[in-house]
């Protein structure tokens, strides 16, 4: 990559080399580490995901904000510091500049990670679940829509996920993606997965694609035609670790009503609900989460390889 980045960014030496040599790279977010999963599972997971990507013959690039620097290719020590530090922000797009100015620390959301990946020239990004349209509640009386939706509409990156977080209104989330013309690709599936479970047949993806090579060529065609949006690739959680939709729904309804009663709002909603799901499911939700994150990383690595071969 020949473009020079402003000094707000810091790339690890191995990532710079990989990008210069057009090697296959997969970007990874850090909100899931800082705000989405309990310690120490979050740390173990971060390492296992990087291993999956290495084993597939790709370079992982975990992205986060450290001491006001936008870092791509965090080291093990930096990930450890992010995962264990007391003051770490959840950073979406609008939070990047303030955090850089105050020299803070942050875990980047899907939206922020997509943007950083695009700035440094990474085309493929792997995550668990995107943000989307939250369920309408009587206390809130408006819908809370994640900045991830707008980012997917505007940033040309391939995002591999297992759908949106199950705590959301999945039908409304799919509508929001349709309005913004984001292709929702089912990877070997016709239904939009529901993160912890395989998904319900009435929630359909916009196109089914069965191989990493075909996803890479779909993305290339989309962008060569001049479209600017992301390609959202949805892969179901591995069968062996998936939960039943009914079981998950019961936990979610309870957690949502607790959040409402306690007046939890804004950016605090997701971390609160995920923590309650963890407790209510006796830890099973985290097991599923780890399993799908690793699976998505493997798929993303295959797509990244296909993408870099096609260049």
Binding mask 85-124 for Mn ion (x = CB under 5 A): ----------------------------------------
Query: Rule CB under 6 A: is residue 126 a binding residue for ligand PSU?
Result: no
Query: Rule CB under 6 A: is residue 60 a binding residue for ligand PSU?
Result: no
Query: Rule CB under 5 A: is residue 148 a binding residue for Mn ion?
Result: no
Among 60, 106, 129, 236, which residue interacts with ligand PSU (rule: CB under 6 A)?
A: 129
Size of the site for Mn ion (CB under 5 A): 1
Give which of ligand PSU, Mn ion, none residue 128 binds (C-beta under 5 to 8 Å, depending on kind). Answer: ligand PSU
Binding mask 14-33 for ligand PSU (x = CB under 6 A): ---------------x-xx-
Cβ partners under 8 Å of residue 220, min gap 6: 307, 310
Q: What CA–CA distances, in Å, run from 225 to 170, 190, 206, 222, 229?
A: 29, 25, 18, 5, 11
Cβ partners under 8 Å of residue 86, min gap 6: none
Query: Rule CB under 6 A: is residue 131 a binding residue for ligand PSU?
Result: yes
Cβ partners under 8 Å of residue 219, min gap 6: 123, 158, 231, 307
**In angstroms, what is the minimal distance from the CB of 92 to Mn ion?**
8
Binding mask 144-183 for ligand PSU (x = CB under 6 A): --xxx----------------x------------------
* 3-state SS, residue 11: strand
Q: Measuring CA to CA, which residue among 238, 270, 298, 277 is closest to residue 110?
A: 270
Query: Which two tokens mark 284?
Result: 């099973």
Query: Rule CB under 6 A: is residue 43 a binding residue for ligand PSU?
Result: no
| Residues identified as active-site | 29, 165
CB nearer to Mn ion: pick between 91 and 198: 91
Give the alpha-carbon dihedral of 235, 239, 244, 248, to 10 degrees.
-50
* 3-state SS, residue 141: coil
CA distance 231 to 280: 33
Site residues (vs ligand PSU, CB under 6 A): 29, 31-32, 35-36, 92, 109-110, 128-129, 131, 146-148, 165, 267, 270, 274
């Amino acid at each position: 990559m020949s473009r020079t980045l402003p000094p707000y960014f810091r790339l690890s030496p191995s990532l710079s080399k990989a990008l210069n040599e057009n090697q296959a790279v997969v970007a990874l977010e850090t909100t899931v580490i800082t705000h989405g999963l309990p310690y120490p599972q979050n740390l173990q997971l971060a390492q296992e995901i990087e291993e999956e990507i290495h084993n597939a013959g790709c370079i992982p690039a975990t992205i986060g904000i450290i001491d006001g620097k936008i870092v791509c290719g965090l080291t093990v020590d930096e990930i450890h510091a992010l995962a264990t530090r007391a003051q770490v922000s959840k950073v979406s797009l609008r939070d990047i500049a303030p955090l850089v100015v105050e020299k803070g620390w942050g875990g980047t959301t899907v939206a922020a990670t997509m943007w950083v990946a695009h700035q440094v020239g990474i085309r493929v990004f792997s995550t668990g679940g995107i943000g989307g349209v939250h369920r309408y509640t009587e206390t809130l009386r408006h819908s809370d829509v994640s900045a991830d939706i707008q980012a997917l509409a505007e940033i040309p990156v391939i995002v591999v996920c297992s759908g949106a977080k199950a705590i959301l209104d999945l039908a409304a989330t799919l509508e929001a993606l349709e309005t913004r013309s984001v292709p929702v690709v089912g990877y070997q599936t016709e239904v939009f997965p529901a993160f912890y479970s395989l998904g319900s047949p009435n929630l359909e993806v916009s196109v089914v694609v069965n191989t990493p090579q075909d996803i890479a060529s779909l993305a290339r065609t989309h962008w060569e035609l001049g479209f600017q949006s992301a390609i959202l690739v949805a892969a179901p959680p591995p069968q062996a670790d998936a939960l039943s939709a009914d079981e998950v729904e019961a936990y979610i309804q309870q957690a949502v009503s607790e959040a409402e009663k306690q007046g939890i709002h804004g950016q605090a909603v997701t971390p609160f609900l995920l923590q309650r799901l963890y407790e209510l499911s006796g830890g099973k939700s985290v097991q599923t989460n780890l399993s799908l994150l690793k699976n998505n990383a493997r798929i993303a690595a295959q797509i990244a390889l296909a993408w870099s071969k096609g260049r």
